């Protein structure tokens, strides 16, 4: 809605004197307590008179805009600094100067009070704007914008959409302040809104968290594909970050037998997070992979580099580093023996076989009640710390000891008898198949003193036979 501006009668009189110089008319135009004035001039184009009028009008609007904007930035920065800090405010003050706005599109409620040629073939346009009407309409715009901003701050939209909306509304507020001006009545509210937007923008970027998990631990002597699952979330809302570019590099070192030169594989590239905020990197191993070092960087600047709130001098990309070493091959060891005495004794006797296997194979024997744990070094604030994880991966092999034809008793002559036929199996737990099997000869021992001495006599040659069993298990594993 345009208004009728009240000009001083002396100025109106000048407008009727087209013979006077345009500059002389302009010098006599002054703002007063109720109105602002904008002045524009352009060279008269006789073949294109409309162009002269449009050019002068544009200048007049820009002139008016600059007057409205006097002290807007400085007066709001005081309140804004208290919310976001002086350094951040200093950057934003410089940044806001780059925001360009079309004055002719933003300023309304003005009246063209003079539009006519004047001396020296120039065209003069003077526009007037009533301050009271302007501020009343402008306060309504600010209140409407406040509602929009609160909805954004309380919203649960995607991470990138929230950043975009915050930046858009920040630019919109800057434009209101620069082109439309801020009434003293709502100056504090205006500055507070700017501060809230900046604070939430900075909070979202600083709360980004990068986590990496292994689908399974690296193991020696196992053909496997280990997935490195990289997850990106905003910690406050736990919202996953979709469509974020991740730069990665990893070094995979391989174990070499007999003191050979260690081999390393170096790879790098980029990944993109999915709707769950995740990206997966697969590492294939033939069982010789010994250690993996992974470095990941979430390239957040790729989604905000065009934002006015983005300060390129600050590092906002989130990095993560992980170091994982292969664990010894876990092997279950079980005893399928009904007699508890014999089971307990055999568990001791096979330790030599276990040690022989471990000398050739990087392995660790565990009972079926044990869980496989593994440690990963993760970087936190520049330092690497160990974190212990429980593996859900199926243990690849089981060494199973059975005994048939078991006799553990005393006869009528009080002779202790221990007799059995041991069988040792290597099982593939995934396929439930037998990879190696060895049934030893019948073992028998007698003693007048105890079952212990009878067992000791029975297994005199067992260790020698178990060496051959160990070699067979080693070949089957490798």
Q: 2-21 pLDDT, tens per residue? A: 433 333 333 444 344 444 67
pLDDT tier at 386, thresholds 50, 70, 90: low
Q: What is the pLDDT of residue 225?
A: 86
pLDDT at 15: 42
Locus of tokens 């170091």: 323
Residue 65, pLDDT > 90, answer no
The first and second tokens of residue 84, run together, are 């976001």
CA distance 40 to 112: 11
Q: Which residues of 150-181 are buried (b: 16+ CB within 10 A; e: fewer)?
A: eebbeeeebbbebbbbbbebbbbbbbbbbbbb
- In this structure, which topology does domain 209-325 adopt according to CATH? Immunoglobulin-like (2.60.40)
Number of other residues whose CB lies within 10 A of the CB of residue 363: 24
How sure is the predictor about 79, in pLDDT bands with cuts at 50, 70 and 90?
very low
Average pLDDT over residues 395-424: 90
Please report, for the chain, the start and end positions of each structural domain, with discontinuous segments joined by +.
9-205, 209-325, 329-376+386-477
Q: Order the strands of the 122-130 sheet from edge to edge.
A: 35-43, 122-130, 110-118
Q: What is the pLDDT of residue 447?
A: 92
Contacts of 48-55 with C-beta under 8 Å, sequence gap 24+, read 52/123, 53/115, 53/123, 53/125, 55/123
Residues 6+ apart with CB under 8 A from 144: none
In tens, the pLDDT along 305-319 reads 888 888 877 778 888
Position with higher pLDDT, 242 vs 255: 242
Angle between helices 462-477 and 340-349 (to 10 degrees): 70
What CATH architecture applies to the domain 329-376+386-477?
A: 3-Layer(aba) Sandwich (3.40)
């Amino acid at each position: 809605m345009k208004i009728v501006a009240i000009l001083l009668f002396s100025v109106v009189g000048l407008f009727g004197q087209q013979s006077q110089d345009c500059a002389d008319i302009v010098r006599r135009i002054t703002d007063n307590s109720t109105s602002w004035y904008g002045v524009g001039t352009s060279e008269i184009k006789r073949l294109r008179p409309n162009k002269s009028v449009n050019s002068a009008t544009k200048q007049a609007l820009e002139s008016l805009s600059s007057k409205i904007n006097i002290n807007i930035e400085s007066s709001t920065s005081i309140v804004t600094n208290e919310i976001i800090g002086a350094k951040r405010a200093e950057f934003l003050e410089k940044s806001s100067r780059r925001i360009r706005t079309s004055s002719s599109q933003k300023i309304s409620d003005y009246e063209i009070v003079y539009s006519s040629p004047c001396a020296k073939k120039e065209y003069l346009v003077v526009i007037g704007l009533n301050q009271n009407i302007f501020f009343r309409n402008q306060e309504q715009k600010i209140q409407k914008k406040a509602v929009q901003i609160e909805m954004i701050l309380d919203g649960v939209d995607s991470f990138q959409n929230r950043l975009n909306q915050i930046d858009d509304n920040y630019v919109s507020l800057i434009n209101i302040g620069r082109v439309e001006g801020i009434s003293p009545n709502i100056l504090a509210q205006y500055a507070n809104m700017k501060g809230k937007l900046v604070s939430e923008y900075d909070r979202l970027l600083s709360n980004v968290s990068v986590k990496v998990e292994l689908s399974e631990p690296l193991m020696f002597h196992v053909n496997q594909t280990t997935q490195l699952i990289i997850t990106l979330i905003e910690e406050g809302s736990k919202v996953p970050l979709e469509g974020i570019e991740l730069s990665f590099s990893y070094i995979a070192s391989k174990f070499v037998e007999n003191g050979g030169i260690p081999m390393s594989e170096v790879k790098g590239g980029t990944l993109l997070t999915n709707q769950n905020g995740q990206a997966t990197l697969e590492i294939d191993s033939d069982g010789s992979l010994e250690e993996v070092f992974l470095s990941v960087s979430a390239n957040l600047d790729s989604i905000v580099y065009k934002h006015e709130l983005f300060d390129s001098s600050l590092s906002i990309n989130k990095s993560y580093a992980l170091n994982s070493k292969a664990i010894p091959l876990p092997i279950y060891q079980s005893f399928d023996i009904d007699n508890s005495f014999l089971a307990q004794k055999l568990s001791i006797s096979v330790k030599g076989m276990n040690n022989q296997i471990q000398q050739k194979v990087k392995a660790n024997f565990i009972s079926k009640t044990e869980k496989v744990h593994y440690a990963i070094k993760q970087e936190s604030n520049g330092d690497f710390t160990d974190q212990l994880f429980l593996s859900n991966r199926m243990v690849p092999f089981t060494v199973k000891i059975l005994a048939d034809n078991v006799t553990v008793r005393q006869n009528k002559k009080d002779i202790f008898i221990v007799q059995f036929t041991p069988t040792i199996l290597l099982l593939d737990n995934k396929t439930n198949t037998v990879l190696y099997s060895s049934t030893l000869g019948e073992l028998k021992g007698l003693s007048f003193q105890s079952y212990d001495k009878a067992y000791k006599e029975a297994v005199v040659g067992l260790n020698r036979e178990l060496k051959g069993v160990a070699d067979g298990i080693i070949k089957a594993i490798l």
